[in-house]
Amino acid sequence: MFVTGPIWTAIEITMYVVDAALLVTLVTTKRLRFRDFVLWLMLMVVMPLCGFIAYICVGPPIYKGGLKAPPHTGDGLDEIERLRQEHPEREEQLTFARALSKAGAYNYSEDNEVKYYSEGPDYFKDLLDDMGRAQSSISIECYIIRRDDLSNTFMDILIDRAIHGVQVRIMFDAYGFGNRQMKAVHELRRAGGECVMFHSIIRLLFSPRKNNRDHRKLAVIDGQVGYVGGYNVGDEYINKSKEWGHWRDGAVRFRGTQVRELQTMFAEDWKFSTKKDISRQPELFPPPKTCGKVSMQLVGGGPVNIGSNPLHIQYLTLINDSEQRVYIETPYLMPPSTLFYNLCIRAMSGTDVRIAIPDKPDHPFVYWANRYYANLLMEHGVRVYIYHNGFLHSKLLVGDAYYCSVGSGNLDERSMNLNFECNAMLYSYELGRQLEDAFLNDLQYCTEYSCEEYAKRTVLQKLKTDFSMIFYNQL
């Protein structure tokens, strides 16, 4: 039966009203930049029904009261101000820390012991060992867990610890997890553990929130040991994948006051997903121990109002405060305009800015979008390298061998505006030299890219580039 004229007219009028209400709400809640507002307005005026469907799929979400954003904004500022008064020689570092705190980063502390990992086998050996020794609690947040040997071992340890009375909580992203380990999940729940799927696509079928994924990778064991990085759980992350070969990534293990901050982040995420408040359980928050001398802050980015994402502020400040050199590794080189111009200004000012990206994509549109931005950056003096020794998944930023970032956040619109991310911000010459050495070692397996090489693209490759750029902010 065909839709009659009056019925279709009524549908159109209804959709115009709904679309207008959406646009007004998005503008008043500062969820849209002007450019995006114009694009959505054009789409909704020309095709109101298609515009509404597109919004449901990939539009900016509206969070009211339930925004998974840090409620601790500004915490620890008094301590930073005290340190600034006592240590004027560290003014730049503490000003950086103050900016992150005001943007919503977690409390700054200077009593941490930190170990950096650049190889998956080393990372998972320590993580699995710590999990296996857990006595009171294990809190894990992860984007992907495969169904393979490493993942099975990972889940077996969680089940064993739950059987022995350890509080086990694990939160997977519903899109990244799929249903790969449901049998193990059921076993874990029967053993007393708790599993949560973040942002179920079915439950959020008619909400654009399904486009906001939990991309964080973190673990807290007994409230005393924390892990933050870019590793998911699967055989490819320990170099056992024929498709990807050597997997180059990064993570940190730490002890000290920052573990309490990481547990706080997990508790906030758990409450957002389950409505259960675990922040007052003393076994999750034992008294912090002074374990080292590394200054550190955790940065938890999420789809907050445009321009105020702590991750965005972190990257901007790191690039801006680094005068001699900035080394970056990222699998997604599609920086928002502010980051793009900051990188260009640094390079044009004489700072040695180098960026390494993979030579193979893990997404069909990423390859040419990466190279499009690489070309623009190279035109302004940034040096870009293509990594050939497997897959480069590391999200590393190090400035002047002192300002260091390791975590899950990429240099793209999705990490800045859509996903929930977690980075460790480290202020340390010792770790800075380690990260610089790791970057320079990776350059041995790279070739330097050039504008001339980019200009040699075939007609088909140019079409692929143009098509990729249509969807660059969703990649």
Mean pLDDT of 335-359: 96
**Distance separating alpha carbons of residues 299 and 79, to the nearest angstrom:** 18
> φ, ψ for residue 136 (rounded to 5)?
-125, -45
Q: Residues 426, 258: contact at Cβ < 8 Å?
A: no
Distance CA 193, CA 161 (A): 9
Does CATH place domain 107-298 in 1.10.260.40? no
Give the start-to-end residue ranges of the domains of the chain: 5-58, 107-298, 310-474
Of these residues, 199, 210, 215, 464, which one is catalytic? 215
pLDDT over threshold 90, residue 402: yes
Determine the pLDDT at residue 1.
40
Known catalytic residue at 400: yes
240 in active site:
no
The Cα–Cα gap between 99 and 84 comes to 13
Enter the pTM of the model.
Answer: 0.88
- Does 458 have pLDDT greater than 60? yes
- Catalytic residue from among 217, 359, 412, 464: 217
Confidence tier at 200 by pLDDT (50, 70, 90)? confident
Instruction: Tell me if 266 sits within 8 A of 300, measured CB to CB.
Output: no
State pLDDT tens for residues 278-333.
Answer: 999 999 999 988 889 999 999 998 876 555 789 999 999 999 999 999 999 999 99
Q: Which of 400, 412, 442, 464 is catalytic?
A: 400
pLDDT digits (tens, 9 = 90+) for 32-66: 666 677 777 777 777 777 777 777 766 667 665 44
Query: Residue 138: what are its φ and ψ, rounded to 5°?
Result: -135, 125
> What does the mean pLDDT of the chain come to?
88
- The answer to whether residue 215 is catalytic is yes
The first and second tokens of residue 193, run together, are 């553990």
Q: Looking at residue 140, what is its pLDDT?
A: 97
pLDDT digits (tens, 9 = 90+) for 372-389: 999 999 999 999 999 999
pLDDT of residue 212: 78
For 359-428, where are the E strands, in sequence order?
Answer: 383-387, 391-392, 396-399, 403-407, 411-412, 423-427
Q: For the segment 465-475, what is each residue's pLDDT rounded down to a tens digit?
A: 888 887 666 55
- CATH dotted code for 310-474: 3.30.870.10
Catalytic residue from among 148, 173, 222, 235: 222
107-298 and 310-474 share one fold: yes
pLDDT surpasses 90 at 213: no
Of 393, 412, 442, 464, the active-site residue reads 393
464 is catalytic: no
b/e per residue, 405-419, with b = 16+ CB within 10 A? bbbbbbbbbbbbbbb
Name the catalytic one among 395, 412, 442, 464: 395
The whole-number average pLDDT for the span 334-340 is 93
- Alpha-carbon separation of residue 159 from 130, 170, 408 (angstroms): 14, 11, 26
> Does 437 participate in catalysis according to the annotation?
no
| 172-185: burial string, b at 16+ Cβ within 10 Å, e else | bbbbbbeebbeebb
Please say if 289 is a catalytic residue: no
Say which residues have a Cβ less than 8 Å from residue 191's Cβ, sequence separation at least 6: 159, 162, 163, 168
Per-residue pLDDT of 146-177, as tens digits, reads: 989 999 999 999 999 999 999 999 999 887 77
Taking the C-alpha atoms of residue 422 and residue 113, their distance in angstroms, rounded to an integer, is 18
Dihedral sign computed on CA atoms, order 472, 99, 97, 138: negative
